[in-house]
Amino acid sequence: MPPKPIPRHEGHWLWGGTFDFQRNPAEFLLEAHEKYGDVFVTRVLTGQSYFIRDPEVINAINVTHAKHIRKPKVVKQMWKPFLGNGLVPNDGESWRRQHKLIMPGFHKRRVDAYAPTMAEYTRDMVRGWVEGEQRDFRKEMVALTLRVVAKTLFDTDLAHDSKTVHDAMEHIVEALIDHAQTPIPVPRWWPSKRNRRMVKALDAMDGVIARLIAARRRDMRDRGDLMSHMVFATDEEGGMSDKQLRDELMTLIFAGHETTAHTLTWAWYLMATNLDKVAKAQQEIDQALDGEPIVVEDLTKLPYLEKCVKESLRRMPAVWIYGREAGEDLRLGGYFFPKGSILAISPLATGRNAKYFDDPEGFRPERWTREFERALPRGAYVPFAAGPRVCLGKQFAMMEMRIILGTLLQNVEINILDGFVPDMLPEISLNPGERGMPMKVRFREGAPVRLGTESSSVRAA
């Protein structure tokens, strides 16, 4: 059978679709999929990029044909100065080795043990809030999730380094976005203000990480955190070099906080604009927790909360796009993709596909019944990717988001400033930009964190 035809977005005679994509990638993607269907191609710079929201093709890329697919060179180059050869940009044999060494650190038992820290840090944040004051919920979430990652993965409170890490992250992300959004990016050696700032930021981050590694190499105790696991992990080739450890730590700090923080920010927004869902979630929480702090065992009693998180990840997935490269000529789902072409999968576009999700622009946590999930084709909902390159922190993130959101629902009223409409910036992760997500602190009547009625900060399971 001849391959299925793939519609082409022609764009500009010289640049192809480069500018259309870079001007506003999210808008371009959503509109182009509506216009051309589930697979279309356009030229970005000199290469052919295929944009895909067909579940069968996505599942083939993620799962069944994963061994013929690699990370695109352009993505590796973009991440290199920052993440080096960490898990996200790594590939082939080196990725397999690193993945095998690190994966046991994300074993359910280890991840479950992080729950009390997540709950306690959230309550700590809320205790610092004052009734009636205005806060930027996005900033609160970025600070909270960074603190959680630092404590759970590296057993450090980042108390002294938090500002360094925050500022450095901001500058690095800024430079990466600039690089990704400029058709012909300024080379990194060019002494522009932004490049100089990025080099300084990288030095600062490297300093923090080198100190963490050196301290851990001196004191070889297993502290139960992920870093202990990584420092001790060995295979037939020995353990990780300091350079590889640095790359993996940087990857985990980066992959492990902004994504979660932004998903929570969107969940807050979607709930604040759908107050009937808030009431339902609060009722479930109040009944299940009876004023006590959440422990990991409670999560099974909070199915509606989980549905709210899943629905937020459908509507506003933090990782709104990810890329792969065809390692050879491929025939997937009846389409032909030549070797070397870029395959772009967008959880944002898949989540808005009306073929699989009724009322795709709505916020309907109720849709996530067991029957609905069973009937959903594989590849139709991929906020964490799937297959061998599935997000390593998926369980960690799902637990963290439910604990944080659950603790918030238990204690405060979810709201945003009257009439505020957030921006939607499809940057490294989908975020509301500089204007953030302004909200007013409104404690619920009888909020446990205010009354101090919790029996202990970490309730026995």
Residues 28-87 that bind ligand HEM (CB under 6 A): 87
The residue (of 377 and 388) whose beta carbon lies closer to ligand HEM is 388
The SS3 of residue 452 is: coil
* 319 part of the interface to ligand HEM, by CB under 6 A: yes
Any contact of residue 363 with ligand HEM (CB under 6 A)? no
Write down the least CB distance from residue 316 to ligand HEM, Å.
10
Taking the CA atoms of residue 110, residue 152, residue 77 and residue 28 in that order, the dihedral angle to the nearest 10 degrees is 90
DSSP per-residue letters across 417-435: -TT-----EESSSEE--TT
Stretch that binds ligand HEM, among 129-137, 252-260, 350-358, 368-376 (CB under 6 A): 252-260
Residue 154 in the binding site for ligand HEM (CB under 6 A): no
Q: Is 259 among the residues that bind ligand HEM (CB under 6 A)?
A: yes
266 near ligand HEM (CB under 6 A): no
Q: Binding to ligand HEM by residue 244, rule CB under 6 A?
A: no
Q: For the chain, how many helices (H) and strands (E)?
A: 18, 12
Q: How far is the CB of 54 from ligand HEM (least distance, A)?
A: 18
Q: Which residue, among 53, 95, 169, 69, has the nearest Cα to 429 in the 3D structure? A: 169
What sign has the CA pseudo-torsion 207, 212, 216, 218? positive
- Whole-number minimum distance, CB 85 to ligand HEM, in Å? 12
Instruction: Find the part of the chain contacting ligand HEM (CB under 6 A) among 77-85, 312-320, 361-369, 417-425.
Output: 312-320
Closer residue to ligand HEM in complex, CB, 51/384: 384
CB of 283 to ligand HEM, least distance (A): 25
* Binding status of residue 318 toward ligand HEM by CB under 6 A: yes
Q: How far is CA 191 from the centre of its chain?
A: 31
Show contacts with ligand HEM in window 373-392 (CB under 6 A).
383-385, 389, 391-392
Residue of 39, 396, 432, 437 that binds ligand HEM (CB under 6 A): 396
Residue 148 Cβ vs ligand HEM, minimum distance, rounded to whole Å: 9
* Interaction between residue 403 and ligand HEM (CB under 6 A): no
| In the complex, minimum distance from the CB of residue 280 to ligand HEM, in angstroms, rounded to a whole number | 22
Which secondary structure element, helix H or strand E, spans residue 330, and what is its range? strand 330-332
The residues that bridge with 41 in the sheet, in sequence order, are 8, 50
C-alpha to C-alpha distance for 180 and 165, rounded to whole angstroms: 22
CA neighbours closer than 13 Å in the CB half-sphere of residue 3: 13
Q: In angstroms, what CA-CA distances link 304 with 112, 261, 279, 335, 342?
A: 20, 20, 11, 38, 38
State the minimum distance, in angstroms, from the CB of residue 88 to ligand HEM. 5
Least distance to ligand HEM, CB of residue 351, Å: 11
Residue 397 in the binding site for ligand HEM (CB under 6 A):
yes
Taking CB under 6 A as the criterion, the residue among 379, 393, 422, 436 binding ligand HEM is 393
- Candidate residues 21, 322, 337, 381; the one interacting with ligand HEM per rule CB under 6 A: 322
Residues 209, 150: Cα–Cα separation, whole Å? 11
Of 52, 227, 255, 289, the one binding ligand HEM (CB under 6 A) is 255
# binding residues, ligand HEM (CB under 6 A): 23
How far is Cα 87 from Cα 76, in angstroms, rounded to an integer? 11
Strands (E), 67-144: 69-70, 134-136
* CB closer to ligand HEM, 252 vs 449: 252
Which is closer to ligand HEM, CB of 263 or CB of 274?
A: 263
> What's the min distance (Å) between Cβ of 189 and ligand HEM?
26
240-276 exposure pattern, b = at least 16 Cβ within 10 A, e = fewer? beeebbbbbbbbbbbbbbbbbbbbbbbbbbbbbebee
**Which neighbouring-strand residues pair with 439?**
135
Per CB under 6 A, 348 contacts ligand HEM = no
Six-digit token string for 307: 């549905």
User: Which residue is nearest to ligand HEM, using beta carbons?
Assistant: 393
| Spatial distance between the Cα atoms of 33 and 382, rounded to a whole number of angstroms | 17
Candidates 18, 156, 195, 260: give the one binding ligand HEM (CB under 6 A): 260
**Partners of 238 in the β-ladder:** 235
Amino acid identity for residue 262 in this structure: H
Binding stretches for ligand HEM (CB under 6 A)? 87-88, 99, 251-252, 255-256, 259-260, 263, 317-319, 322, 383-385, 389, 391-393, 396-397
